[in-house]
């Protein structure tokens, strides 16, 4: 019986390894929300990045033909600038980022990068030009070093550590007994939402893409963590064409343009100051968030006094 149990244990071990591998892949696909297959044109060329200007031109899109999500959306993210998308939940903000990655093809209009329609270039070249810091980062069951290096596998140890420092996750890693070799993920260390996001930022710093999509987490982070993440994000997005899908308006005050999406169209657009002046949707969202933050702070003060 002993002789049998060893191979059986071993098979169990192999089985769990494979299952785990599959789970990682499943999570990855969930994250990317891949459903529909988009194919390269037979004569597709590699995307040629000049300075990385992104244009959405009268974009119409629906996941389900009966329910249009975008009804003619046009905007430009000039090279090196930051445009933030805000709007009520379900307005189609994250959809814009999926369309830029070309996970779906649009029904009409066009999306282009440096004048090239994204349907005319290879998906590989398109996706390698865009970096994404998602709401929720998938971590692999591997070392923290592996998870960061995933941004650019050829990166040296030093480059990987520099990226971690810039993303403000270095000091945290140095407190771990095994440092960069610490295992993370399902079977290892569980990282908090803020720590995972910093791993994603470090990956993006290593990848150094000309175009960046920041999909801000909906979940509230404590203000110290939020501050650290914000400064890491400001650093990665500097001089890089950046599209921010924003939930917390406090993080986008400095955006070159803010676009307010509602019911499939652009309801308002402009800088923070301009949008507050017109006292429309943005201004009311801003006031609501400010009141909520103030109420939270009051509550915290009262609790601290008790």
Least distance to ligand ATP, CB of residue 119, Å: 19
Least distance to ligand ATP, CB of residue 272, Å: 19
Residue with smaller CB distance to ligand ATP, 63 or 172: 63
Nearest to 61 by CA among 97, 100, 109: 109
Contact (CB, 8 A) for 251 and 230? yes
Residue with smaller CB distance to ligand ATP, 147 or 242: 242
Residue with smaller CB distance to ligand ATP, 96 or 206: 96
| DSSP track, 215-284 | E--SS---HHHHHHHHHHHHHHHTTSEEEEE-S-GGGGTT-SEEEEEETTEEEEEE-HHHHHHTTSHHHH
Least distance to ligand ATP, CB of residue 263, Å: 11
For the record, the structure tokens of 289 come out as: 């968030």
For the record, the structure tokens of 216 come out as: 């801000």
Determine the interface stretch with ligand ATP among 37-45, 83-91, 105-113, 137-145 (rule: CB under 6 A): 83-91
Least distance to ligand ATP, CB of residue 303, Å: 29
Determine the interface stretch with ligand ATP among 22-30, 87-95, 232-240, 263-271 (rule: CB under 6 A): 87-95
If one asks whether residue 93 binds ligand ATP (CB under 6 A), the answer comes out as yes
If one asks whether residue 272 binds ligand ATP (CB under 6 A), the answer comes out as no
- Cα 160–chain centre separation: 20
Residue with smaller CB distance to ligand ATP, 94 or 110: 94
What mask, x for binding ligand ATP by CB under 6 A, covers residues 46 to 65? -----------------xx-
- Out of 47, 54, 92, 241, point to the residue binding ligand ATP (CB under 6 A): 92
Torsion of CA 173, 177, 182, 186, to 10 degrees: -100
Distance between CA 141 and CA 185 in Å, rounded?
5
Least distance to ligand ATP, CB of residue 65, Å: 11
Contact (CB, 8 A) for 126 and 47? yes
Least distance to ligand ATP, CB of residue 93, Å: 4
Beta strands 211-215; 241-245: pairing state:
parallel
- Out of 90, 171, 179, 254, point to the residue binding ligand ATP (CB under 6 A): 90
Residue with smaller CB distance to ligand ATP, 33 or 136: 33
Least distance to ligand ATP, CB of residue 8, Å: 42
CB burial of 205-228 (b: ≥16 within 10 Å; e: otherwise) equals bbbebbbbbbbbbeeebeeebbeb
- Out of 54, 59, 69, 138, point to the residue binding ligand ATP (CB under 6 A): 69
If one asks whether residue 175 binds ligand ATP (CB under 6 A), the answer comes out as no
Distance between CA 20 and CA 149 in Å, rounded?
20
If one asks whether residue 95 binds ligand ATP (CB under 6 A), the answer comes out as yes
Distance between CA 185 and CA 156 in Å, rounded?
23
Write out the binding residues for ligand ATP, residues 12-51 only, by CB under 6 A.
33, 35
User: Which residues are near ligand ATP by CB under 6 A?
Assistant: 33, 35, 63-64, 69, 87, 89-95
């Amino acid at each position: 019986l002993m002789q049998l149990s060893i191979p059986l244990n071993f098979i169990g071990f192999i089985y769990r390894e494979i299952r785990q591998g599959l789970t990682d892949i499943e999570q990855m696909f969930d994250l990317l929300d891949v459903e529909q297959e988009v194919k390269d044109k037979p004569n597709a060329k590699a995307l040629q990045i000049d300075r990385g200007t992104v244009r959405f031109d009268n974009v119409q899109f629906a996941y389900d033909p009966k329910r249009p999500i975008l009804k003619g959306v046009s905007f430009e993210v000039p090279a090196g600038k930051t445009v933030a998308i805000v709007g009520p939940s379900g307005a189609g903000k994250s959809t814009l980022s999926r369309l830029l990655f070309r996970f779906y093809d649009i029904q009409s209009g066009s999306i282009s990068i440096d004048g090239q329609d994204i349907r005319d270039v290879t998906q590989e070249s398109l996706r390698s030009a865009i970096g994404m810091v998602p709401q929720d980062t998938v971590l692999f069951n591997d070392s923290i070093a592996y998870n960061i290096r995933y941004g650019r596998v050829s990166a040296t140890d030093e480059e990987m550590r520099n990226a971690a420092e810039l993303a403000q996750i270095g000091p945290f890693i140095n407190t771990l007994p095994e440092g960069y070799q610490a295992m993370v993920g399902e079977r290892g260390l569980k990282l908090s939402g803020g720590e995972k996001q910093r791993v994603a930022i470090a990956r993006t710093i290593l990848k150094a893409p000309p175009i960046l999509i920041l999909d801000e987490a909906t979940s509230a982070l404590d203000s110290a963590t939020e501050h650290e993440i914000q400064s890491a994000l400001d650093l990665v997005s500097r001089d890089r064409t950046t599209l921010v899908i924003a939930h917390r308006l406090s993080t986008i005050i400095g955006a070159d343009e803010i676009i307010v999406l509602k019911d499939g169209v652009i309801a308002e657009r402009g800088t923070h100051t301009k949008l507050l002046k017109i006292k429309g949707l943005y201004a009311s969202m801003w006031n609501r968030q400010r009141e909520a933050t103030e109420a939270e702070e009051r509550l915290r003060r009262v609790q601290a006094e008790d």
